[in-house]
Amino acid sequence: MQDNNKKSFLEKPSWALALLTSVAAILVVLFYTLIYGFLTFARHDNDIIGSTIVPLTLYLGIIIIFSFFIVKRNPKSVWYVPVITNLVGILLATLKSGFWNNQTFWIPVCGGWILTIIVSIIGSLIGKRETISGNP
């Protein structure tokens, strides 16, 4: 007899979901950058909103929202999900030589790290409360 108990996509470990979130955020930003580059190829202006603010907001928004839901599902993952989801930003800050000199990038990126940590803590508290109240 065949067992039809297929696991849901969300039943993966939290570290795997955090890594997928990081990769998905990068892919969304790359796709946006590609489309934006094709649309503005003829113009030679330096649009800071379309070229910097929108992709950074997309990246941080995806990471913050998914970090909340990952940690809400598994409250113990609050210790490592913010680090894994922000891995690209952390690597960028440590490896890029002029990162800290350009306030256009480091202020929103560090703000996103702080928001990710805060949202993860809130998700952990909500997840613990739902887990405790869900017991009969």
17-to-13, 76, 85 alpha-carbon distances in Å: 6, 14, 9
Mean pLDDT of 10-14: 77
User: What pTM value is reported for the model?
Assistant: 0.77
Mean pLDDT of 62-77: 92
User: d(Cα 63, Cα 118) in Å, to the nearest integer?
Assistant: 12
Length in residues, the chain = 136
Contact indicator for 99, 105 with CB cutoff of 8 Å: yes
Contact indicator for 60, 21 with CB cutoff of 8 Å: no
Predicted confidence (pLDDT) per residue in 85-102, tens digit: 988 888 877 887 777 777
| Per-residue pLDDT, 53 | 77
Q: Identity (one letter) of the amino acid at 32?
A: Y
